[in-house]
Amino acid sequence: MLCCHLLTNLIDNAGQRGLAVLVCKTDAGLRFALQMRAVTADNENTMKKFPKSSFSLPENVTLSESLRIRHCPSCGTRLDELATKDPSLFARLADEQRLYQNNWET
């Protein structure tokens, strides 16, 4: 059980358009990110295979971006403490969401 419905919805939205919360496995342990996606992760990966000039998007459009977070964006619960209550769930989420992560340092 997560802290609130918004966090559940944000985690369920990983890899889809809009906002999501990602669970990220790093060398330093689990980290969390708030991610924005203009397109799904699948669409972004497809678009990377073609030159940007083949799309009708401006060159400076950001398709996805992540921001590291430490607290639930809705209720403020500390995410590292939440993860300690159900480590197997968060380990599974980190594995499932691995492909959606932007590159950011630990």
Interacting residues with Zn ion (CB under 5 A)? 3-4, 7, 72, 74-75, 77
Give the SS3 label for residue 51: coil
Cβ proximity to Zn ion: between 8 and 40 the closer is 8
Distance separating alpha carbons of residues 61 and 75, to the nearest angstrom = 31
> How is residue 71 written in tokens?
């607290």
Cβ proximity to Zn ion: between 17 and 71 the closer is 71
Supply the minimum distance, in Å, between the C-beta of residue 6 and Zn ion: 6
Q: What one-character DSSP code corresponds to residue 55?
A: S
Cβ proximity to Zn ion: between 16 and 74 the closer is 74
Supply the minimum distance, in Å, between the C-beta of residue 93 and Zn ion: 15
Give the SS3 label for residue 106: coil
Supply the minimum distance, in Å, between the C-beta of residue 42 and Zn ion: 27
Strand ranges across the sheet with 18-26: 18-26, 29-37, 64-69
Q: Which residue is nearest to Zn ion (CB)?
A: 72
